[in-house]
Structure 1
Amino acid sequence: MITCVCSFAQVDTAQLKRLYDRCLDFSEDKIDSIKYYADYISKEADHLQYNKGSVLSLRLKGIYEDLSNNYEKAIEYYLQSLQAARLIRAPEYEMVALSDLAIAYFAIREPEKAKEFYLQCARLSELDGKIPSLINTYNNLAVIYTQLKLYDSSHYLLEKAVRLGKPLERQGRINLSSTYNNLGNLYFKEKKYDEALIYFRQNHAKHTAGSDLNGLWVARLNLADVFIEMRQFDSATLYAESAMKLAQRLESKSKQADSYSLLAKLAEHRGDYNKAYQYIKKWYSLDTAILHSDTYKTIAALQERFHAGEREAENKLLQEKVEKETLRSRELTLVAVALAIIGVLIAIGFVIKRNAHRRLQETNDLIVQQNEKLSELNYEKNSLISIVSHDLNTPFATIQIWGQVLQNGSDRLTEEQQKAMSRILQAGLYGERLIRQILDVEREDIGSHKLHLEKFDLKAFAEEVIDNFKPMAAKKNIRLHADFSGKKLFILSDRYLVSRICENLLSNAIKYTPHGKDVWMSIHDEQDTVTIKIRDEGVGIDKEELPYLFSKYSKISSRPTDGEASTGLGLSIVKRIVEEINGRISCESELGKGSVFTVTLKK
């Protein structure tokens, strides 16, 4: 609920700062209030010409998006807050923005990027010299080093934080509970569970006596985890279920997802694979809702735009230097002409030639610098694509690991559960294939793919493809029809590449078809070729856009009917794969009536 701000009739900068501080203490159930006050502070700060207002407002907007699990928008606002803080030369807010960015990147499982921002924050904290700020920064860096398995560095930072903070803790000026909790996590990672338990219990006792429910949730989750590893399952169950109740009370999807993940781990260790499977399904539904794969691409683009701005400023400085040097060259030419009139033509000619050569060399050096900058930009773009594609493998690898764990206990599962487990593993493999699509589009050497030719029954293969897409179609109440009855039809081709062609086209047909309609897949045998047709009753494609349909990153006006994601990559990849196996692809479509994609392959 949003609290009225009518009491601020004569608002001043001090009141805006107090309002900002109040917002930082709001719980997750008051995130709408945070957004409201962020806009209010921005408006009033403009009226008062309060230069810190934009920093405060942008950070609150970032916190609102962060609590809403919209990490790409959160990072965008945090980057703007960082730029605003640097513009007004406010290092205290610059440190806050750097810390916010590090936390956000850590939340999306990019510890290297988080470390980069925390190191910047540490340098500012050491210059500032305030012990509480230093301790907080050392704590955060230690968490990152623990995540990266740099345990010695983590020990060093946490012990340094304890040495600095102990005198202040005795005076009651600071609380080192987070440091002790981080030490517990570090010992846990090192599998020193007895030492970890000491620190986790100490942290739990401090939060039980306080009012910080978020901290209490973390403490109980950690205790449950260490008891699982120590095989004290009754204690683990007590703390895990208590952590789940706290997560539900806080109405936090991310905390509920982590709690379900731990409950699944506990059930798996106890041998209750059915319960572990149920918890995994709940975790997966929450985790994928929080962090969709498109988020990684968007965040990478935001980071690139931020650095591109800094590089653009550098390029402008270089350009200004070039212009100044050109102006100076013109002045020297005029001087040379004036001196030539006086009569020292030979001497002046020599000076002009020497200076012109020097200026030309300097100009060439500047051009080389600019070319190097452009090369760096292109390299960073390619690196971002590779990094994002690599990091996206993590959630699919998790699905594969848990799926294999559950399959190992398949004798405990019903036939329907075993079939569902098989579908989960197939979905994980399909996700990994989609990740490879991004890299395939950017690679120029796709033609060097080594074909693996085999003879297989195309009709049986197509039946399997359709069966895999039935759950996807059922969500939209779409009926899938197969038109390839009759004798077997064998072709000699690359089974994997044919699979990618059919899966892309069938997935698109379902995406662009409204609820309750029909999609057909047919196979026709001709003399030396076979044709695969995918027909739908979807939204169709404008005739003017058909020539650009298979272009790389093409974006057509037609949109998926249920809000599904569309990158513009699929059809360009399909065309390249079809050509790779000496085939042809075409499309016939009409707006409002649907589309027919025809793939012709040699037998």
Structure 2
Amino acid sequence: MNSLLLYKVQKMLGGFLKGLLLAFVITFYMFTNSNAQHITKNDSLRIENLIKGANSSLMKYNYDETIDLAYVSYLESDSLSYSSGIKRSLLLLADAYKAKTAYSSSLNYYLQAEAEIEKQKNVEELVRVNYKTGELFFEWGVPEKALAYFNKVLAVEKGVLSETDKIELLNRKAETHLKLNQNGKALDTYNELLKVFRKNDNKEQIINTLKKIASVYTLQNRYEDALTSNFEILEVNKQLNDTASMATSCNGIGFLYKSLSKLPEALSYFEQALEYNELMDKKGANKNAIISNLINIGVIYQSLGDYRGSIRSFNKALKVVEGEGSDVEIAVIHNYLASIYYNSGNYPEARKHTQHAIDLLQGTENIRMLASSQKRLSHIYEKTGNYEKALESYQEYSVTKDSLLYRQQLNQEKEQYKQFLAETVEKQSKLELIDQEMKALELRNEKVKSEKEKQEVELQLKEQQLQNASLANEQLQREKQMQKLVLIQEQIEAQKKDQEITVLEQKRDLQALQLKQSEILKKERQKELELQKSKLDLQESQLKSSKERQQYLIWTAGLFFVILILIFSGFIMKRRDNKILLSQYEKINEQKEKIELINKELVQLNEEKNSLIGIVAHDLKSPLNQISGILDIIKLTSRGQTKEQQEYMEKIFESVKRLRNMVTKILDVNAIESKTLNLKTEKVDLPEVLNEVISRFEEMANKKGIAIHKQIESNLPPVNVDVEYTSEVFENLLSNAVKYSPLDEEITVKMAAQNSSIRIEFIDKGQGISREDMKNLFGRYHKLSARPTAGEDSTGLGLSIVKKYVEAMNGKVWCES
């Protein structure tokens, strides 16, 4: 009886334990459900509607509305851990910000979308977002980063990218290489594309790719290779019977031959292009291509020296452009014609076309062309001897050149250069900003990851606490049951006598119960072991988290230390640079002092030289005058001299005369330099002075068989000059003309009124003056490469004295050869 009762109690206890375990499971399920979010059909439908609306706004270019809707869908998707919604919302935000050129924000969302897609391990979507990120960098002007993403996309397994996508990507990659000035790599990429298009026999794409290859070859100055590509383009266009493209190809080939200085070949292809364009013109095509061809042909003829062919071509272009072109376009053709006529020496035609160009350009914004035309007109008038008009045109050119609009154009070029520098700096800042964004994103991802790990640990702790509470409750129930069991045992002992019949059965049942109890104890121990193991796992996780935090602290401290080192290094470098600058400044000051000292010494030496020359020349003048006087006395008193003695006397007299003239000129130069000229200006009849000088040189000219022709205008007014200095100027100029004229030639002396002054010309038929000699013509002591034709002496002082005297009398002297 006692055994049966104990068995019943045991059954009741087992049922109770099962119920308790079920309650624990339900409680745990409710607890976990309270901390988890489930996406209902309504939630997903609401998010999908938001994404659909954002997509629609993006297609309508309403980017602000796209951003608002996508951000709301992102927040809701994130709160519900709806991965698909998060990914699509981030991509919409990135696309909208990219369209608004807010590249920094766009990059942030693309990188977040990339991280979300990597979790899902969706290769196709990852390729798509990487390509979009590359496109973003390309548009942002950061080709280095764009190239890295394009290469990343191209590195994926075959089959992920379609052929169309691959072609588009290779084109973009080649453009990126060009932006980075990696012309060789761009060429390799275009050749890879060309193989694909040739395989598919896509003639249109073959032509486009060959054009790009030719342009890269041209950038590399590989004109022969560029020609090969253009010839292939021409052949394909002929197969397609595309006349317009054939004309364009011939033009391109012509320009390449021109770059190679193969002008006949260039002319041939420009003429072919003209034939194609004229054929198109019969069908009503645009005449601009014909005008361009005619200009190219005219330029080539001009380069070949065929001015007639060039003029013929430009006149044809002028007829076409006068019918349809603007004033500036017509002026361009007139300028071309003016340049050709000017170079060929046809100054009247050059003047006519230049004046046409100026009239057309007046009032337009093309100030530079107007200034160039005015300058050419000034040169034309100067060549034709109309100096007054030449001066007037040059003044107009100066006014135009200095005009406000001209300065604005120059300032615009300067601003463009500044903008180029600013863009370079901006590009560097973009790269730094991008690196910061990517680092910030990595930190955010790490933070999110650590937060999730923290939540998981907290969840495990709550689960453990719940399990501990359940076990404590179970233990309490067990103790209550044991107390009841003790009470029942006391009742059993009281009824022991009544139960002796079933002792054996009770013992057997008791053994079974003990066996079950031992199993229960064994399970409890196993649970305790599992609990200990979970505690150890928790401790290990906490230890790992602690190590990671320590690692972050170490990295932060290291980064701070590196920044300190960089700051200190910068300070040291700045101090060193300051020392170098100070040293250089001291050296410059020292050099400046040395230069000033040398300048003082040079000034002193120049003064001493002038003084010495003056003293020597002055001291030489008296003895020479005495020698000259003695020679005159000998001439008058000596009779019966032989012919040989008379010749010797003449030679001595001539030598003394030359030496005295040289001393006089040296003294004149010294007086000019010391600014001690005493001008005695008076009203003078210049023709009379000139005739007197010419009469003195007629004998000298007759010895060389030279005829002096005078062209002196009548009724010239008197001029306020110094007679002696004017006479000496005429003597020097006429002396040079006689010295440097060949035997039996002519010298022409002209005098005529010009405006408010008188122009005097001494014209000889000598060998001319070189450009190098022209620079030193009016310098002191300079002897020219040309020599006197009869071996006459030259001191190199005559023209320098002429220049000083003329300028002292407010005149002007120059030479034309």
TM-score, length-scaled by structure 1: 0.30
Structure with greater helix share of residues = 2
Structure with greater strand share of residues = 1
TM-score, length-scaled by structure 2: 0.23
